[in-house]
Amino acid sequence: MSKYFKRIAHVSFKCNDFEKMCSFYRDTMGFEQIFTLPYEGAILDAHRHEGFREGDTWIAYFKINDRQFVELFNTPYEAKYSIPSYSFMHFSVLVEDIIAAARHFENKGVQLWAGPKHVKKPYTAPYPGDRRGQCNSYAFYIQDPEGNEIEVMQFTEDSLQLNWRKNS
């Protein structure tokens, strides 16, 4: 079946603090907000009890690249993020220069983690960029304002993602 799929098109999140999440993905991640969709019709009817009105923003789309996006829903949720009871772990963005990416986030006051928060500790000094993960790629993790984890990764010549055919 994978011959039919080209790539992941988008990742999507419900948001308790929609404006803060939009600001993070636009201003901190640097993704361009390319369009929004309003609450209207049946969608509005389903969410009117939450205080939404006709024309309020329902969805905001942010461009990672020309064919991959982050989709934010202005739809509050009740569940608290918890690794044991939640299937989502993280999504990953690929960068060309892991050190430059780390400095970008550090300069914006974003905490960098050595891996997923539930198993690793935060960096207490600038990201060193000297340690490869189990897949032989460089990576660190950050979190958006609602705790969703984002892995920032740079492939190396030895990355398993690039060499899987040789290793199978």
Domains and CATH numbers, the chain: 7-73 (3.10.180.10), 89-167 (3.10.180.10)
* Confidence (pLDDT) at 133: 87
As a whole number, mean pLDDT of residues 110-135 equals 90
Task: Produce one character per residue of 30-52: b if its CB has 16 or more CB atoms within 10 Å, e if not.
Answer: ebeeeeeebbeeeebeebeeeeb
How many other CB atoms are there within 10 angstroms of residue 102's CB atom?
Answer: 23
As a whole number, mean pLDDT of residues 30-48 equals 95
Residue 150, pLDDT > 70, answer: yes
- pTM of this structure: 0.88
Report residue 145 as tokens: 């304002």
Q: How far is CA 46 from CA 75, 125, 131, 154, in A?
A: 11, 47, 48, 42
In angstroms, the CA 134 to CA 151 distance is: 14
As a whole number, mean pLDDT of residues 51-59 equals 95
In angstroms, the CA 79 to CA 93 distance is: 25
* Confidence (pLDDT) at 81: 56
In angstroms, the CA 92 to CA 104 distance is: 17
pLDDT digits (tens, 9 = 90+) for 57-111: 999 999 999 999 999 999 988 866 555 456 678 899 999 999 999 999 999 999 9
* Confidence (pLDDT) at 168: 60
* Confidence (pLDDT) at 2: 64
Amino acid at 118: H
